[in-house]
Amino acid sequence: MLRPLILALCLLPTSAFARDWQVDAAKSSLTFKGSYQGESFDGRFKTFDATIAYDSADLAKSKFDVSIDLASADTASSERDDTLQGGDFFDTAKFPKAHFVTESFAKGADGAVEAHGKLTIRDKTQPVVLKVTFAENGNAATLDVATTLKRVDFGLGLGSDWTDIGADVPVRGHLVLSAK
């Protein structure tokens, strides 16, 4: 009697849950672009953590939960990095982390996958849509995401001292993943 039950359980679809993925931090990146006084610069966050569950066949089972150490921002300029950590921008003494969590996934008008979620920076939470490209190869995968944030939506660089800073901040993530 127990044997048929075990066999039946083994035959249940394994796609009941999205596949969990582990991020290879050494091979992954989270980058941003900014501009100041008409000159652009590149930046990256050296430290972030992500919990990824993804099922391209059933996006409703997928979820991204990303935590970013804002003090790890690196723009190759110590003066700019110190400014980003200060009270006019990230204010890392009060708000050390940014957090993004998905609420839903959908196919966009162009057929690409979009992740709809909420991003919190400082004490501001805003809706964000990420363009998602996921490529699975057995027990390995890559996840690329892209969006453009409006810095003022998060209270970053407000006031007359910061009028020379670009309003839009393109953000890109490239995660190298292995199946858990």
CA distance 38 to 53: 39
Q: Check residues 3 and 115 and name the one with the higher pLDDT.
A: 115
pLDDT of residue 16: 56
Tokens representing residue 24 in the block: 């290879």
95 three-state secondary structure: coil
* Residue labelled with tokens 């959908």: 106
Question: Which pLDDT score, from 0 to 100, does residue 15 have?
Answer: 43
Output the pLDDT for position 12.
46
A 10 A CB-CB count for 83 gives: 17
Task: List beta partners, residue 65.
Answer: 51, 101
If we measure between CA atoms, which residue out of 179, 156, 167 comes closest to residue 83? 156
pLDDT at 5 over 90: no
> In terms of pTM, does the model score above 0.95?
no
Q: Tell me the C-alpha distance between 158 and 91, whole Å.
A: 13
Condensed to tens digits (0 to 9), the pLDDT of residues 67-103 reads 999 999 999 999 999 999 999 999 999 999 999 999 9
Q: If you search the block for the tokens 């009697």, which residue do you land on?
A: 1
Q: How far is CA 57 from the centre of its chain?
A: 21
Tell whether the model's pLDDT for residue 125 goes beyond 90. yes
Parse the chain into domains and list their residue ranges. Answer: 18-179
pLDDT tens profile 139-178: 999 999 999 999 999 999 998 889 999 999 999 999 999 9
Q: Give pLDDT tens digits for 21-77.
A: 999 999 999 999 999 999 999 999 999 999 999 999 999 999 999 999 999 999 999
Class of domain 18-179 as given by CATH: mainly beta
What pLDDT, on the 0 to 100 scale, is given for residue 109?
81
